[in-house]
Structure 1
Amino acid sequence: MKKRVILGMSGGVDSSVSGLLLKEAGYDVIALFMKNWSEKDEDGVCTATEDAEDARSVANQLGIPFYTINFEKEYWDRVFTYFLDEYKKGRTPNPDVMCNQEIKFNAFLDYALSLEADYIAMGHYAQVKESQGKYYLLRGNDKNKDQSYFLSRIGQKALSKTLFPIGHLDKKQVRKLAEENNLYTARKKDSTGICFIGERDFDEFLDKYLLTKEGDILDVDGDIIGKHTGLIHYTLGQRRGIGIGGIGSGEPWFVVGKNLKENLLYVAQGEKHPALYSKSLIGENPKWILEKSPNMPLKCTAKFRYRQSDIPVTVDLLEDGNLYIKYDNPVKAVTPGQVAVLYDSDICLGSCIIKSIEPLNKKYSHLNITL
């Protein structure tokens, strides 16, 4: 009897080729489109509707059943409210990581299992390896497209039931397979931006949901040099859109801190300015792929944002359950609210949410986000 796989089909080329490979491998495949967000963009278009139609067209080509399921409430409750709450704290969240943790590998998985599926499948560039009854998350073979960063908070139940059909391929191979099989999405461009925001104006989107107030921009010496449009519009390390020009040496300015209580934005001039760098961080809410903390202290590598090069670190577990992560060398623009993902070579160990950073120079400690 064929194993039943419910494929999360997004309307993109990656999940389309995943469907093709699953069918060729002899699985009983059912395509399921998740509707997580229905708001129209600034052009009056609901991209979810377009994506669903693209996914349906590919499913018809492949001769597999196609259904849609609405997870908008779950998405709002578990991901979007988290996203807004983090911005209220002055942090910069990663909702795509939370979408995987709460929706794709939780709500979607539970729904699929209720339909007596043996597995779920997703078009992510990642791999699962089983050894002695434990399931490990590995990077995808295409290091430029590897998405293990976004999957770093899923556990054993999900991994034991998940297939990543394109994890061993690179993007060029995926495109080639789509074109050779004349799939409807073969030349569809990859989606960019946060899942529910897409490519619209990000600041405009935030202003719809959160109150903003203008305030002063200060340099690291405390001198007022401009006005900001609301602290939610800025993130640590940001260079563009600050609105400061013709001041100082002529080098670009970067965001280096926020004070929420006094509504202040701190900036420093020059991409090598020490205020941009930290030497360690505190990470909260750690999640381990094996659902058990490794032996500490742990020597491994970390990524503090997607596509960042691996950074050698030492990790320790604090008494309060948080992680203390010390970098071998100073790192630029480590941002509270983002995800610190830990690796042992190609194995993803898990991740934590960056709570605070320790500046390279103590004299810049006042620049840390303060409520």
Structure 2
Amino acid sequence: MNSLGINKRPEDTRVVVAMSGGVDSSVVAGLMAREGYETLGVTLQLYDHGEAMHRKGACCAGQDIHDARRVAAAIGIPHYVLDYESRFREAVIDDFAESYVRGETPIPCVKCNQTVKFVDLMRVSKELGADVLVTGHYIQSLEKDGRWGMFRPNDHGRDQSYFLFATEQEQLDYLRFPLGGMTKEEVRDIAREMGLVVAEKSDSQDICFVPNGNYAQIITKLKPEAADPGEIVHMDGRVLGEHKGIIHYTIGQRRGLGISAPDPLYVVKLDPDTKQVIVGPYEALATRSVRLKQVNWLGSKSLSDIERDGPIEIEAKVRSTRPPQPARLSVVDGVVEVELIGGEHGVSPGQACVFYADDSPNTEVLGGGWIAEAVSAKAA
């Protein structure tokens, strides 16, 4: 059994490494080559527009492709660049824009992993005869009860499980994440030791295809109706002002509302049908539970079992920057609902709720789902 859990010698094991041009995937490629695996590097060209070509922190554009190619040459492995711009636009960028039009707050990184990276790239890997697809994500894949499970990494500051919740069991069985037991600084140390040109390269930004962070510009270009003006309305029905498009607002936002009021007001709802931005006091943002759609479940006990036997205790995460919190997952008439025991504020449809088995450091990731509705604490 080799280090990837495959019953072959490394030299008889073909590995495809998803190389983004960053330090993490570059180190993974270097480690695979150093261990003697037959290593192939693949980079997907996902977009290519002006400022993104050479923008610091950009991902999967011109400079990153160049860096990935240089790393592959330095460690002596074949490297392929595949043009997936049209697929990325359809599956990620268009979906991102449509989500904002619906008044949601999307997470394009999850969609990218869910579609282009773990569907299209996996298919390419298999066509190349690879035994596994290896990435530089900070997550652990461990074999448990005859199947591969997903577990939180050692470095919680780099934990990417929130962005990988939609990874399906069949995909997990084929994927490996060698950096799950390392810290970022340890990875950089390996990059320096290997003499990789990307050793000091900064991390890529979350929304990689948005120049200068101006996502509204992208959305307006794709969906002009999203920039239609409308009213800013208080929860009590008072019209407080006008806005220049709901795409400029997110649930929980306080600054930049363009209205004056004696007490602080926050965006509590976006109504795409009436084009209204609805505001209210901080207490109105309180959420006790979330109803989910498109749930991906990785636990050994099925959702049907939970519906039959009753709710289970889990840890749940509704923001990438927050730690998991105690929660209760229930299934009623096929609908998954998660009660957040300690409550939360400013939860928005379009974001994700990710499930964990317990509060232990390297706990198993049980999957997650997209938030269809945030139930207010009062309603709950």
Fold similarity call, TM over 0.5: yes
AA aligned opposite 2:232: I
**Structure 2 residue 44 is the aligned partner of structure 1 residue 22:** no
1:368 aligns to what?
Answer: none
The answer for the alignment partner of 1:166 in structure 2 is 179
Measured in 1, the distance between the counterparts of 2:271 and 2:169 equals 39
Counterpart CA distance in 2 for 1:191 and 1:115 is 28
Answer yes or no: is the 8 Å Cα contact 1:31–1:65 preserved in 2: yes
Amino acid at match of 2:23: V
Alignment of 1:261 onto 2:276: no
- Which amino acid counterpart does residue 26 of structure 1 have in structure 2? G
- The reply on whether 1:241 has 2:251 as its aligned counterpart is no
Tell me the equivalent position of 2:343. 330
Change (3 A) 1:74 1:322: farther
Superposed CA offset, 1:54-84 (max 9, x none) = 1111111111111101122322333333222
Letter paired with 1:240: R
Q: Distance in 2 between matches of 1:291 and 1:39?
A: 44
1:318 aligns with 2:327: no
Counterpart in the other structure of 1:357: 374
Instruction: Provide, for residues 160-182 of structure 1, a one-character-per-residue CA deviation record: whole Å limited to 9, x for no partner.
Output: 11111211101111112112222
1:300 is matched with which residue? 314
Alignment of 1:103-142 (within 5 A): 103-142=116-155
In structure 2, distance between residues paired with 1:198 and 1:109? 28
Unaligned runs of 5+ in 2: 1-10
The residue identity in structure 1 corresponding to 2:320 is Y
Deviation at 1:223, TM superposition (A): 2.0
The question of whether the paired residues in 2 share the 8 Å contact of 1:274 and 1:360 is answered with no
Cα distance in structure 2, aligned partners of 1:199 and 1:144 = 24
Aligned position for 1:369: none
Which secondary structure does the structure 2 equivalent of 1:41 belong to? Answer: helix
Cα offset for 1:37?
A: 1.6
5+ residue gaps, structure 1, are: 366-371
How far apart, in 2, do the equivalents of 1:25 and 1:161 lie? 19
How many residue pairs get matched? 356
Q: 1:41–1:200: 8 Å Cα contact kept in structure 2?
A: no
Residue 158 (structure 2) aligns with: 145
Instruction: Tell me the alpha carbon deviations over residues 238-289 of structure 1, each in whole angstroms, 9 at most, x when there is no partner.
Output: 23332335x313x4x32111222221111234xxx21011111110111113
Over the matched positions of the two proteins, sequence identity in percent amounts to 33
Is 1:281 aligned to 2:293, yes or no? no
Cα deviation, residue 196, structure 1 = 1.9
Post-superposition shift, 1:25? 1.9
| Cα shift at 1:195 | 2.6
State how far apart, in whole Å, the 1-side matches of 2:43 and 2:53 are.
Answer: 23
AA partner of residue 65 (structure 1): P
TM-score, structure 2 length as denominator? Answer: 0.88
Question: Is 1:224 matched up with 2:239?
Answer: yes
1:56 partnered with 2:54: no
Deviation for aligned residue 1:292: 6.7
- Pairing partner for 2:167 from 151, 154, 168: 154
Deviations 1:207-243 (A, max 9, x none): 1112211111122222222221111221111233323
Q: 1:43 Cα shift?
A: 8.5
SS at structure 2 position matched to 1:167: helix
Q: Please, what is the CA RMSD of the aligned residues?
A: 2.0
TM-score by length of 1: 0.90
